[in-house]
Copies of this chain bind each other. A is one copy, B any other.
Amino acid sequence: MRIDELPSIRHLPLFCNMATENFEALMRGAYSQSFPAGMQLVEQGAPADFLFIVVEGAVEMYAGWGKRESTMGVIRPVGCFILAACIKDAPYLMSARTLQPSKIVMLPAPDLRAVFRRDTEFAVSVINELAGAFRTVIRHAKGLKLRDARQRIAAYLLEQSRYADNANSFVLQVEKRLIASYLGMTPENLSRGLRQLETEGVRVKGMEVTVTDRDRLTEFAAPNVLLDGPDPEGSDGICLPPPTAIHPV
C-alpha cells in the first residue's frame, strides 16, 4: 500500500470518521494497483474477497445474463464498489471493468467485516454508504419502470447538467453506447432519442450537449428528487472531498 494514496482514501465518507488506529490496521492489509483501460476487475458470481476503491480513473459496473449485458453504473474517484457483497460474504452481483487507466485499492473483505464490529463510527459510515447506495438503485429502478426511453434520456441529460454546476453546455462523460445500456435501451435508440429531443430543448453533437431551452426540457423530463436525486447531504459526518457515488455514469 503506497503511502501517498492514504489521504484520499482516508477522506472518503466511508473511512473519515473511524479511529486512526483501525484505519491503519485496515490499510496494512490493502493492495494498491494500477490497471490499464478495459481490464476486468471483478466477475459477477465470484466470491466477495475484496472491497474495491477507485482512486484514479473510472470503473464500469455491469451485469450479464446469457449473452445479454447491461451497464449498472460507473464509479469514479474516490468511490468504492461491491461493498454489500463483501459485508454479506456473498457472491458479487455485478462485474466491474476499468473504462480508463485506473488506480485501484483493494481491501480484504474479512478485515472489513472484522473492523466494523469493533469501530462503531466505521459501522455508522458503512450504514450511510449502504443506505445511499440502496436509494440510488431504487431511483434507477423507478426510472426504468416509470419513464419511457425518451424521458429517461432527457432526465439523464438534466442530471448531467446538474453535475456540471447546472451549465447549459457540457460534455458527456462516457461513451454513448454505455449511456444507452445504463438507461436500458439500444445505442440506436439512444441516437434517435437524442435527435428527437432537439424539439424538446436540448441539442447533442458528438459528446457535446447544449441545453437550448431548459424550461421545455425540464417540463418534458419532469425531474424529481425522488427519481433523479440528489439526496440531502448525509447525516453522517461530512468529509471535505465530496464523495462520488454510482449515479453519474
Binding site for B on A (CB under 8 A): 44-45, 63-66, 68-70, 72, 83-85, 87-91, 93-94, 113, 116-118, 120, 123-124, 126-128, 130-135, 137-142, 144-147, 184, 222, 224-227, 231-232, 234-235
Q: Chain B residues with Cβ under 8 A from A145's Cβ?
A: 63, 70, 144, 184
Pick 24 A–B contacts, CB within 8 A, sort by A.
A45-B225, A63-B145, A65-B142, A65-B224, A69-B146, A70-B146, A83-B131, A84-B132, A84-B135, A87-B235, A88-B132, A88-B232, A90-B232, A91-B225, A93-B226, A113-B235, A116-B124, A117-B124, A120-B120, A126-B127, A134-B137, A140-B141, A144-B144, A144-B184
Q: Chain B residues with Cβ under 8 A from A66's Cβ?
A: 146, 222
Q: Chain B residues with Cβ under 8 A from A127's Cβ?
A: 87, 116, 123, 126-127, 130
Among residues of B, the one whose C-beta sits closest to the C-beta of A147 is B65
CB atoms of A135 and B90 under 8 A apart: yes
CB atoms of B137 and A141 under 8 A apart: yes
Q: CA separation between A239 and B144, bound complex, in Å?
A: 35
Q: Chain B residues with Cβ under 8 A from A137's Cβ?
A: 134, 137-138, 141
Which interface residue of A90, A113, A120 has the most chain B CB atoms within 10 A? A90
Q: Chain B residues with Cβ under 8 A from A84's Cβ?
A: 130-132, 134-135, 138
CB atoms of B93 and A45 under 8 A apart: no
Q: CA separation between A222 and B65, bound complex, in Å?
A: 9
Among residues of B, the one whose C-beta sits closest to the C-beta of A185 is B145
